[in-house]
């Protein structure tokens, strides 16, 4: 399978596949005349990577995980640790977003004119501070 075929099948760009290879998530495949030729297991590998990025794992984390798998290491502890950490991140994100939501709803019901608005906002500063302290890296 050429890279374009693999890309179309997996639903991403060929450049992404090359990027995964450069990042060490995908083993360099055989080549024919300089061009990459993939065996069919490459597809499931790529799909797994997409799946994991979709779940919010970073490429670095996925690489860790995949390298464990490549060694045929039992999935157990490695995966559990990564997933548990990610679960905590996701839960924090939910909590933060909930606070944000109620704050936004509250502010939407506050009909203050012009700059008085700011004053009202800043009265909420204890809440704000809690929010700011919760700020995550991303997502």
For residue 72, the SS3 value is coil
Q: Per rule CB under 8 A, is residue 126 in the interface with its own copies?
A: no
State the minimum distance, in angstroms, from the CB of residue 103 to DNA.
17
44 binds, among its own copies, DNA, none (CB under 5 to 8 A by kind): its own copies
Task: Decide: is 60 part of the binding site for its own copies (CB under 8 A).
Answer: no
* Dist CA 127 CA 100 (whole Å): 10
Q: Which does 79 bind (CB under 5 to 8 A by kind): its own copies, DNA, none?
A: its own copies
Chosen from DNA, its own copies, none, partner binding at 60 (C-beta under 5 to 8 Å by type): DNA
How far apart (Å, rounded) are the C-alpha atoms in residues 136 and 7? 32
d(CA 77, CA 24): 22
Q: In whole angstroms, what separates CA 139 from the centre of its chain?
A: 7
CA distance 101 to 107: 10
Q: What are the residues facing 30 on neighbouring strands?
A: 37
Residue 39 within binding range of its own copies, rule CB under 8 A: no
Stretch that binds its own copies, among 1-9, 18-26, 32-40, 104-112 (CB under 8 A): 104-112
Where do contacts with DNA occur on this chain (CB under 7 A)? 2-5, 7, 12-16, 18-20, 31-36, 53, 58-60, 138
């Amino acid at each position: 399978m050429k890279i374009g075929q693999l890309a179309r099948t997996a639903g991403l760009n060929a450049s992404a596949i090359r990027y995964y290879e450069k990042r060490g998530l995908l083993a360099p495949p055989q080549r024919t005349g300089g061009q990459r030729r993939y065996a069919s297991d490459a597809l499931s590998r790529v799909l797994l990577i997409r799946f994991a990025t979709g779940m919010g794992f970073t490429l670095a984390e996925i690489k860790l995980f995949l390298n464990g798998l490549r060694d045929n290491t039992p999935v157990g502890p490695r995966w559990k640790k990564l997933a548990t950490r990610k679960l905590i991140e996701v839960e924090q994100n939910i909590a933060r977003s909930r606070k944000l939501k109620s704050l936004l709803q509250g502010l939407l019901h506050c009909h203050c004119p012009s700059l008085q608005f700011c004053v009202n906002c800043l009265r909420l500063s204890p809440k704000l501070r809690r929010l700011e302290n919760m700020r995550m890296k991303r997502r």
